[in-house]
A and B are shown apart, each in its own frame.
Chain A
Amino acid sequence: MTNPAPEPLLALSNVNTFYGQAQVHFDLSITVARGHIVCLLGGNASGKSTTMKIILGLVKPRSGEVSFDGASLIGLTTPQIVRRGIASVPEARRLFADMSVRENILMGAFVRNDREAIAQDLDKMLTLFPKLGQRLAQRAGSLSGGEQQMVAMARALMSRPRMIVMDEPTMGLSPLYVDRVLELIRTINREGVSVFMVEQNASLALEIAHEAYVLQTGKIVLSGPARALKDDPRIRDAYLGGSEAA
């Protein structure tokens, strides 16, 4: 467990979150090292998506600290956090359905003002996601799920983020696209973007992640290098809620 971990880019420490009376997170602590892919695993209602919302400032924790690149994110609005260099691929893509594919991708560059560089980046996205080239003028809502996922990833990259948070990037995709998406995440990561992803599909996520955390009803029950966790029987137990639920 004591790797010579690089300096953390993102750190959540002792985060407690509530929805009304119900507590969602119990002293949640997660770090994402610079340049790493970290995945957060967990079953339904374990608090995975809320973790993402906490990072993005969509939900405010009651206590605890969230810091990015050494500076606290607590109290910042979502747009401010995005401007710090965090982009997101939300759950179920959440494209702007009535806007064109081109407009959707360019919306990702909303925080930027360098027009020429934005145009260059758009071209770069089309080499990274060649399929989107023919779809640029099409309504984003008319694309297939896999294509929408490509648009969502291109959109996230357009802000030139230092980190991308992804909520179940493989959800609802055909197996072919699942592999493609995982490969793209690797590619993105190789270019220096740290990735924090929330996943239900543990075996897939562990294939590409450097570290992983397992969340169960708001508590981290397991964490460590992905390679080590891959064969850990406790992963399965954590998912099924222990022997009782199984």
Chain B
Amino acid sequence: MSSWLDYTINGLIVGNVYALVAVGLALIFGVSRLINFAQGSIYLVGAYIGWVAVVQLHTPLPLTIIVVAVAAAIVGLIIERFGLRPLQNSVRIAPLLATIGISFVLDQLVMLTFSPNPRALPSQLPDVRFQVGGGTIGPLDLLIAGVGLTSAFLLFVFLRYSKLGWAVRAASQDRDAAMQMGVDVNRVNQAVFGIAAALGGVSGMLVGMYYNQIDTAMSLQATLKGVVAEVVGGAGNVPGAVIGSLLLGLVESYGVAVFGTSYRNLFAFLLLVVVLVLRPNGLFASARQAPPEPLTGTFIAPSRPVRIPHWALAVAAAGFALLPLFPVSFYVLQTLINAWLLGMLALSLTLVAGTMGQVSLGHAALLAIGAYTSALLSLTLNVPVGLAVIGGGLMSAALGTLLISPSFRLRGHYVSIATLAIGEIVSLVILNWESVTRGPIGISGIPPLSLFGYDLISPTSIYWFSFAVMVVLALLQGRLLGSHLGRSFRAIRDDDIAARAYGLSLNRYKSLAFIFGGFAAGVSGGIAAHLYSYINHETFNTQQSILALTVVILGGLGNVVGAMLGAVALVGLPEVFRVAAEYRILIYGIVLLLLVRFRPQGLLGTM
């Protein structure tokens, strides 16, 4: 019994922390209909500012909280002013992508400043625990509860009694009407970002103290948890976000109690998917709300794609095919092999996100499914590697489509959240399904690539193999886009209601897109598994999903040639300029930000 009370207390405390993140997300979503993927980065920044304050400046606790809140708020204001305000009139997806880019940049800056090694963040509170009923509670628990309640109270007073608070509420209910009352929406945005960032930063600091450890991996986790809590509570609904957070904290805590720690996140994401499928507007959605997405196709930057003559493509392909015959270094070939693998993933994503309009943030899961299938087929069932890779592609196509199918009824940003969650779920299932996936140990000793009994071990042969596979997939996809199927995809992307009115079955076409895309990504993952010879649940992570998305946007959403060009550019250029690995993510983030701001249609234009 006593332990259950402890788990309840723990769940509520953790829920309190999530609430601080989720409330900020809800405020921002309310006003700008934007899911701020940089929220976790602000939380990270808050944790490290807290560390600097406590460990280096020896500030007393109340001052630490103020310092963190103010510094984080300033970061939030900067993000709003320079990252998002310039995008006010761009396509709907632009601010979302910008926040992803900003989160990459912030996380990397923290990592470069403080090193990726975890640090201890002492709480400055006496380490005692009081008996309460059958459980125990410590001063830090009380602090977190106190901060949570105080913030909720202040926020309530602000929204209910201040003029700016009224403006925030009005703008989140009807932005245009609020402007017609004289509300300056930029100021509202500023206020909301400042508040969200202050709460998020303090939350990060409290979590650091709670676990007495901070590291740079906190960021993504916090964003994900905050998004889960916010969506569960009903996007944009502030009290809903608090309840969603507490619910999430409890579900996780009880889940951990029953199944173990490694299941913690699985419950969070399952909760999210269940809520998205059953009640996409959240548990506490208000009855009447402006539709969160425009009904017609303004989601993708419209543009005229750059037409590249066939002969030029043929020449380029021939050039790359003949490249290994020239005395190029192993290093160059290796880099290009990586580019081809990423190119396959990008082909898949450009179809799904660009042509079909389903901006997936969990595409690495398709790689993982392909990789594990291929590795396990060849290792445990002795299937020839060539066939195993195809098996990986098929499994990815089937399982990926099946997993994503509950989100087919969702739109816009919700698709991105759902795919992100599904990606995390795949990774967590791999982690926990030890009997099949070998759990956290991962799979080692995966046989090398082979084709018809010949091992492909030399870089040259691997290069040709992966290049050929990518080109074949690209040609197939080109055919697909030219067919009536491709037109149907684009019709659904541009206006799904109109498409439905013309008799197109959304589910069928979305499935087809994911089947084709899943196959390409699965093949890429399968080849990668045999190249790396070792994979685990973290080999294919969200960072890769985002990298693929950056590649696709760089090339031009939906653009087949663009996907391959983008892959070569993003993998190749850092190598050419010998950029140190830890700066690469930073560069990807900056590239994404610049693209969104200055060339949302990418290098070759959207199709």
Q: Which residues of A are interface residues toward B (Cβ below 8 A)?
A: 56, 58, 77-79, 82-83, 87-88, 90, 94-99, 103, 106-108, 110-111, 141, 155, 159
Q: For residue B187, which residue of chain A has the nearest CB?
A: A79
Q: Which of B69-90 contact A (CB under 8 A)?
A: none
One of B165-173, B322-330, B469-477 contacting the partner: B165-173
Interface centre among B166, B177, B288 (most CB of A within 10 A): B177
**Inter-chain contacts of A97 with B (CB < 8 A):** 173-174, 286, 288
Interface size grouping (class) on chain B: 10 to 19
Evaluate contact between B176 and A107: CB separation under 8 angstroms.
no
Distance of B279 from chain A, by nearest CB (Å): 18
A107 and B181 in contact, given A98-B169, A141-B288 (Cβ under 8 angstroms): yes
**Inter-chain contacts of A103 with B (CB < 8 A):** 166, 169
Evaluate contact between A82 and B170: CB separation under 8 angstroms.
no
Evaluate contact between B169 and A99: CB separation under 8 angstroms.
yes
Evaluate contact between B166 and A107: CB separation under 8 angstroms.
yes
Q: Which of B141-189 contact A (CB under 8 A)?
A: 163, 166-167, 169-170, 173-174, 176-184
Distance of B495 from chain A, by nearest CB (Å): 15
Q: For residue A87, which residue of chain B has the nearest CB?
A: B180
A78 to B174, CA, bound (A): 14
**Inter-chain contacts of B184 with A (CB < 8 A):** 77, 79
A98 to B288, CA, bound (A): 9
**Inter-chain contacts of B179 with A (CB < 8 A):** 56, 58, 77-79, 82
Interface centre among B174, B184, B288 (most CB of A within 10 A): B174
Evaluate contact between B166 and A110: CB separation under 8 angstroms.
yes
A79 and B170 in contact, given A94-B176, A95-B177 (Cβ under 8 angstroms): no
A110 to B183, CA, bound (A): 7
A99 and B170 in contact, given A77-B184, A82-B182, A159-B182 (Cβ under 8 angstroms): yes
Among B166, B178, B180, B286, the residue within 8 A (CB) of A56 is B180
A107 to B166, CA, bound (A): 8
Interface centre among A77, A78, A108 (most CB of B within 10 A): A78
A58 to B163, CA, bound (A): 23
Distance of A119 from chain B, by nearest CB (Å): 15
A107 to B188, CA, bound (A): 14
**Inter-chain contacts of A88 with B (CB < 8 A):** 180
Distance of A92 from chain B, by nearest CB (Å): 10
Evaluate contact between B176 and A96: CB separation under 8 angstroms.
no
Evaluate contact between A58 and B170: CB separation under 8 angstroms.
no
Evaluate contact between B169 and A110: CB separation under 8 angstroms.
no
Evaluate contact between A94 and B174: CB separation under 8 angstroms.
yes
**Inter-chain contacts of B286 with A (CB < 8 A):** 97-98
16 extra A-B contacts, CB within 8 A, seeds A78-B180, A79-B184, A155-B181: A77-B179, A77-B184, A78-B179, A78-B182, A79-B182, A82-B180, A82-B182, A83-B182, A88-B180, A95-B177, A96-B174, A103-B166, A107-B170, A110-B167, A110-B183, A141-B288
**Inter-chain contacts of B182 with A (CB < 8 A):** 78-79, 82-83, 110-111, 159
Q: Which residues of B are interface residues toward A (Cβ below 8 A)?
A: 163, 166-167, 169-170, 173-174, 176-184, 286-288
7 A-B pairs with C-beta separation under 8 A? A78-B182, A90-B177, A94-B174, A99-B169, A103-B169, A111-B182, A159-B181
A155 to B166, CA, bound (A): 14
Q: For residue A159, which residue of chain B has the nearest CB?
A: B182
Evaluate contact between B176 and A58: CB separation under 8 angstroms.
yes
Interface centre among B169, B180, B181, B286 (most CB of A within 10 A): B180
Q: For residue A82, which residue of chain B has the nearest CB?
A: B182
A107 to B181, CA, bound (A): 7
Among A96, A106, A111, the residue within 8 A (CB) of B177 is A96
Among B174, B181, B288, the residue within 8 A (CB) of A110 is B181
Among A90, A98, A141, the residue within 8 A (CB) of B180 is A90
Evaluate contact between A96 and B170: CB separation under 8 angstroms.
yes
Evaluate contact between B183 and A79: CB separation under 8 angstroms.
yes
A159 to B180, CA, bound (A): 11
**Inter-chain contacts of B287 with A (CB < 8 A):** 141
A96 to B287, CA, bound (A): 13
A159 to B287, CA, bound (A): 30
**Inter-chain contacts of A98 with B (CB < 8 A):** 169, 173, 286
Q: For residue B160, which residue of chain A has the nearest CB?
A: A103
A58 to B288, CA, bound (A): 24
A87 to B179, CA, bound (A): 11
**Inter-chain contacts of B167 with A (CB < 8 A):** 110
**Inter-chain contacts of A56 with B (CB < 8 A):** 179-180
A97 to B176, CA, bound (A): 14
**Inter-chain contacts of A87 with B (CB < 8 A):** 180
Distance of B159 from chain A, by nearest CB (Å): 10
Q: For residue B179, which residue of chain A has the nearest CB?
A: A78
Q: For residue A141, which residue of chain B has the nearest CB?
A: B288
**Inter-chain contacts of B181 with A (CB < 8 A):** 82, 107-108, 110-111, 155, 159
**Inter-chain contacts of A155 with B (CB < 8 A):** 181
Q: For residue A96, which residue of chain B has the nearest CB?
A: B173
A66 to B170, CA, bound (A): 28
Q: For residue B237, which residue of chain A has the nearest CB?
A: A98
A96 to B173, CA, bound (A): 6
Q: For residue B169, which residue of chain A has the nearest CB?
A: A99
A3 to B180, CA, bound (A): 33
**Inter-chain contacts of A159 with B (CB < 8 A):** 181-182
**Inter-chain contacts of B183 with A (CB < 8 A):** 79, 110
Among A78, A82, A83, A96, the residue within 8 A (CB) of B169 is A96
**Inter-chain contacts of B166 with A (CB < 8 A):** 99, 103, 106-107, 110
**Inter-chain contacts of A77 with B (CB < 8 A):** 179, 184
Interface centre among B177, B178, B179, B182 (most CB of A within 10 A): B182
Q: For residue A155, which residue of chain B has the nearest CB?
A: B181
Q: For residue A152, which residue of chain B has the nearest CB?
A: B177
Evaluate contact between A110 and B173: CB separation under 8 angstroms.
no
A94 to B178, CA, bound (A): 9
A111 to B169, CA, bound (A): 16
A79 to B177, CA, bound (A): 11
Distance of A138 from chain B, by nearest CB (Å): 14
**Inter-chain contacts of A83 with B (CB < 8 A):** 182
Distance of A93 from chain B, by nearest CB (Å): 9
**Inter-chain contacts of B163 with A (CB < 8 A):** 110
Distance of B295 from chain A, by nearest CB (Å): 16
Distance of A49 from chain B, by nearest CB (Å): 12
**Inter-chain contacts of A106 with B (CB < 8 A):** 166
**Inter-chain contacts of A82 with B (CB < 8 A):** 179-182
Evaluate contact between B173 and A99: CB separation under 8 angstroms.
yes
A110 to B173, CA, bound (A): 16
A48 to B178, CA, bound (A): 21
**Inter-chain contacts of A78 with B (CB < 8 A):** 179-180, 182
A141 to B174, CA, bound (A): 12
Q: For residue B176, which residue of chain A has the nearest CB?
A: A58
A65 to B519, CA, bound (A): 57
Distance of B472 from chain A, by nearest CB (Å): 39
A110 to B162, CA, bound (A): 11
A56 to B183, CA, bound (A): 13
